[in-house]
Structures are given as C-alpha cells and as structure tokens.
Amino acid sequence: MTHGMIVAPQPEAVEAGAITLRDGGNAVDAAIACALVQTAVDPMMCGIAGFGSMHLYLPGKGLHGLIDFHTKAPAAVTVDMWEDLIEGECRDGFGFILKGRPNEMGYQSIMIPGSIKAYHEAVTEYGTMDWKDVVQPAIEYAREGFTVRPHVDEFWSAANVMGRVSTAEKLKACAATKRIYTNGGGEFHGVGERIANPDMVRSLERVRDGGADAFYSGELADDIVADMEANGALLSREDLAGYRTQRPDPIWGEYRGHRVAGNPPPGGGVMVIEMLHILENFDLAAMGHNSPDYIATVAEAMKYATIDKDTRVGDPDFFDVPMDELLSKDYAAGLADRIKSGEQAHVERLGEPEESKDTTHLCVADEAGNVVTMTHSLGMPSGVITEGLGFMYNGCMGAFDPRPGRAASIAPGKGRFTAMAPTIVFKGDEPYVVIGAPGGTFITMGVLQGILNVLDFGMTMAEAVAAPRFTANSDTIDVSNRIPRFVTNELEDRGYPIQRSPFSYVFAGVHGIEIDDGTWTGGADPGRDGMALRV
C-alpha cells in the first residue's frame, strides 16, 4: 500500500485515485486513474479528446518537469478563416463570439487532442502500475454509470452566458450526444439519475488494450477520421498521427522567500508568477483579507497580468514571448509603483461575453515525495460525439483570436493560450503547496488567491480554497456574493465597476494539498462536488 493524498472535484475520481495508491501505485498512477475516471463521470469538463498540463515532481527519478499536452490547431486552418465573422470578444479576454459559432460548436471547433497521449506516456514512463490496470476504473464507471451531481446538473442546464452557446444547446445538437445525455423526452438527466455510456466503454477498452496508438493511429483513429471527413472537420488523420506532447522545464518565481514553479506558455504559469512578483511589493496581510485596499491592489495586479497575457503571451513556437521581462522582479516593481500611485490599469475588450469554464483539476502526493498537479479539459465542449465512440471532442478553436497578426491568432499547428496553471510552491527544497484549478481564465486568479491565502494569511488549505474570491480579467472587478457590499461600495466609490456574482463559490474551483513536515492537508473547493482523501 502506498500512502498519500488526492484531491479533485469529483468524489468518484478521487476514490479511484486513492484506491490506486492503496493498491501500490504511485502519485502518477493515481493521478492518471483519477483523470480517466473524471472523463467518465464529468464528460463535459474533460475527456480523452481533450488537452492539459501535467506538473510532476518525482524526486526518486530526479525529475521536476511538465508533460505539456496542449491541443494544436489542425493543419487545415488558415490565419484569416474567420476574420469576417467576428461579433465580439469575451469580457475576460479569452475567446471570440463569431457569427454562426463555428469556433465553439460543431466539427470545425475541434483541435488535435492530447490527453490520451500524455496519460499513456506518464504511466509507462513514471508509473509503477500496468497501464491496463490504471484505465480499468474508468471503464467500470462508464459501464455502470455515474450519478449526476449538483455541479454537473448546474453546468448542463445553465442558460447561455453573455452570448456563448449554452452547454444545453451543444448537448442537443448532435444525435449521438443527445442520445447519451437526455432521456426519451429530450430532457437532461437530473440530479441523482444514473448515466451509463457503453459506447465510451468500448473506446476506453480499445485504449486500454492498444495504448495511445489506438487513438492516434489505430482502429479508433480510423473511426474518428471517418467521422471528421464526413462532416467537414478541420482535424485530419495526419494531424492525429503527428501529435506529440512537449516536455518543458518549469518556469520559476519567488514570493516571500518561497520558490514558485509553474508551467510555461501556452499555459498560465507566467501570469501567476507575474502577479506574485507584483504583490510581493505590498504588505497584504496588514491590509486585511478581502478589504477594499486588498481587493483593489490584487485586482490591479490581475489587470496588468491580463494585459500582458492578451498582448505578449502566446504559443512560444509561434510568438516571441518576453519571458525574462515578464518574470523579472524589476518589471513587477515598476508595475507595483503604478498601483501605489493610484493609477488604474485599463484592459482593452471588444465585447462583453464570458469564457466557458469546462475544465477540471487534480492534485496528488505520495509517501515517496512524489507530487502531481494536473489541469485537463475540453476547453469548451464541441458538442460532437462520433456515433458509437461515446466521448466528446474538445471545442478549442473558440479561444483563438480570429484577427491575424496577434499573439493568439490562428495558425496551423499552433497551441492556444490557456490559463491552466498547475503550480508547486516550495519551502526550501521541498514541495509545500501543490495547487491548481479549473475555471477558464479565472484559473490563474483562483490559484493566485489560494497561494496568498496560505502564505500571507496563514490559512489551512481547506480554508484557502473556500475563502471568498474575486477576479479582474477586465476593468470590472467581479466578486463572489460572500464579499460584503460595504466592501464593494467603497471600491465603487474609488471608481471601480463591480459585478456581483449570484454564486457564493465562484471564479475557478481551486484544489490543493499543503505538505508541512511530511503531513498532508488537502482542500477541495466547496463550490464543486469534490473532496480530499488520504490513504
């Protein structure tokens, strides 16, 4: 038996990871078992046709690095293919609304998946269990079915938000999708109902027996390609066969004497570190948690990092990202001086819609000192399921900027920026805070506040992920409904537009593990349905 802790937004997935540890697997085995079960029990948040970022610290193997499995644009895309369809930009700066919505729904929204490639590589290279045994729990959940949880129901039934295509519309647009997720009357299965997916069982069995090759070049690939070709998709056989993960080193920052390791672009680690470097110039604890001064200061750091993300961060294989400057403490100090002067940053936006948050996360630590923090996603679900395969494809084309010549513009083979920020904070040479979140562009803002809550305010991990959050991905400060109005009234008096969420737990779903003197304590965001479990 391996002792350890795992935390994720789905209890079934957490339990599968914990059982994997109990059966002798290490943190990597547990992470991938958890991730695969997540695809079966939260199939709009993630899937085997998705993507993500896996941050691994494996001291016994002398490894601290990442498996980057961001999705890539198919070779058939062109830089100006949607330029004349633009209707608006998301208020948080992540994605565009196009006439007819081809970028966020349907076959043309699908980019090259990376998930199964990364999961198979992680287990075969760094795990201690057989791949087939790691996949099996997901097969059982797909076969026996999963019970619809409150957060799943909320997500499926939500109306369209600020112009986005609603998940409900996507789930009913494709015949195979509608058959799986609605009842005979065309209504979604409700809380407590059970959904089995025998088509997904067969796909997972093929992946179990054939590994990643089954998905990228085998019989499963044949079925995928046939459907893509029949429906005018951009994704091709050559795209699938040519997909490769990347293995970057972490990027580094420092905050109040702690070293902070994050993922490089096209992931969001650079934003987390830039914000921490800015905020190190302030005595946040003296301001008081979620006071007007605190919220205004942190919001300005968020805005500056957002401006830099929008204009200076993209896929480094296609865009020259000035990493030395963005990670520089001198650069951060200059931005801090502007905040101290009372200047309010301005974030340019072309519209008001909000980004989809179709993502999930997990963190694992084991007794050997291994830790894994991984965010994985469909980006936004495309709504497309190939008849007989049971899994949904990502809809990641929606995050590209349809305007040529920009950091996030469309290009063949290009990865799109994501806010995914699986982060490890070190105390000395040992991992101290292992953290990450789902939640679209709110991810970096949620991870930032989780770290600040532990390091500046001495919260436990459970307290840190449950504390009320806010975000500033635009000139507006969005706040959770648990932040008092007497606080936001003062911010409005200072000239800040405030948008109050109707939800008490909102702006990412932060999950983390704190490791202190060999003791694990975990926190699962209470706004999601998950848990932390120690074995």
Verify cis geometry, omega within 30 degrees of 0, for the bond prior to 266.
Answer: yes
Could you tell me if 213 and 420 are in contact, meaning their C-beta atoms sit under 8 angstroms apart? no
How far from the centroid of its chain's Cα atoms is residue 469's Cα?
17
- Specify burial of residue 12 (Cβ count, 10 A radius: 0-12, 13-18, 19+): buried
Close Cβ partners of 320 (under 8 Å, ≥ 6 residues apart): none
| d(C-alpha 96, C-alpha 108), whole Å | 15
Close Cβ partners of 518 (under 8 Å, ≥ 6 residues apart): none
pLDDT exceeds 60 at position 355: no
Phi and psi of 81, rounded to 5°?
-60, -30
- Written as six digits, the tokens of 439 are 């939640």
Reported as a single tens digit per residue, the pLDDT across 221-256 is 999 999 999 999 999 999 999 999 999 999 999 999
Close Cβ partners of 517 (under 8 Å, ≥ 6 residues apart): none
**In which band, very low, low, confident or very high, does the pLDDT at 158 lie, cut at 50, 70 and 90?**
low
Q: What is the 3-state secondary structure (H, E, C) of 273-294?
A: HHHHHHHCCCCHHHHCCCCHHH
Phi and psi of 218, rounded to 5°?
-95, -155
Q: What percent of the chain has pLDDT over 70?
A: 95
pLDDT at 279: 98
**In which band, very low, low, confident or very high, does the pLDDT at 90 lie, cut at 50, 70 and 90?**
low
Average pLDDT over residues 305-319: 94
Could you tell me if 182 and 171 are in contact, meaning their C-beta atoms sit under 8 angstroms apart? yes
pLDDT exceeds 60 at position 78: yes
Could you tell me if 510 and 448 are in contact, meaning their C-beta atoms sit under 8 angstroms apart? no
**In which band, very low, low, confident or very high, does the pLDDT at 177 lie, cut at 50, 70 and 90?**
confident
Phi and psi of 122, rounded to 5°?
-60, -45
Average pLDDT over residues 268-272: 98
- Specify burial of residue 261 (Cβ count, 10 A radius: 0-12, 13-18, 19+): buried
Q: Output b/e per residue, 83-122; b: 16+ Cβ within 10 A.
A: eeebebbbbbbbbbbbeebbbbbbbbbbbbbbbbbbbbbb
- Written as six digits, the tokens of 356 are 């989809």
pLDDT at 173: 80
Average pLDDT over residues 263-289: 98
pLDDT exceeds 60 at position 309: yes
Catalytic residue chosen out of the listed positions 2, 167, 297, 359: 359
Could you tell me if 379 and 71 are in contact, meaning their C-beta atoms sit under 8 angstroms apart? yes
Which has more confidence, 384 or 358? Answer: 384
Strand runs (DSSP E) across 367-408, as ranges? 371-379, 381-385, 392-394
Average pLDDT over residues 417-429: 96
Our answer to whether residue 476 is catalytic in this structure is no
pLDDT at 356: 43
CA-nearest of 37, 47, 202 to 113 is 47
pLDDT at 399: 85
| d(C-alpha 133, C-alpha 429), whole Å | 33
| 330: number of Cβ within 10 Å | 8
CA-nearest of 498, 461, 499, 502 to 481 is 502
pLDDT at 269: 98
Considering the chain, what is the average pLDDT of its residues? 93
pLDDT at 284: 98
**In which band, very low, low, confident or very high, does the pLDDT at 354 lie, cut at 50, 70 and 90?**
very low
Most confident of 92-106, 145-159, 211-225, 340-354: 211-225
| d(C-alpha 463, C-alpha 295), whole Å | 18
pLDDT at 94: 61
**In which band, very low, low, confident or very high, does the pLDDT at 166 lie, cut at 50, 70 and 90?**
confident
- Written as six digits, the tokens of 403 are 């305007």
pLDDT at 88: 81
Reported as a single tens digit per residue, the pLDDT across 110-126 is 999 999 999 999 999 99
**In which band, very low, low, confident or very high, does the pLDDT at 188 lie, cut at 50, 70 and 90?**
confident
pLDDT at 164: 64
Reported as a single tens digit per residue, the pLDDT across 189-214 is 888 889 999 999 999 999 999 999 99
| d(C-alpha 18, C-alpha 104), whole Å | 35
Domains of the chain and any CATH numbers = 251-353+427-528 (1.10.246.130)
pLDDT at 167: 75
Q: Which of 84-93, 306-315, 375-384 has the lowest mean pLDDT?
A: 84-93
| Alpha-carbon distances, residue 417 vs 80, 184, 317, 397, 410 (angstroms) | 18, 39, 12, 11, 11
Q: What percent of the chain has pLDDT over 90?
A: 81
- Written as six digits, the tokens of 169 are 């519309």
| d(C-alpha 71, C-alpha 50), whole Å | 7
Phi and psi of 244, rounded to 5°?
-135, 140
Reported as a single tens digit per residue, the pLDDT across 452-484 is 999 999 999 999 999 999 999 999 999 999 999
Start-to-end Cα distance in the chain: 9
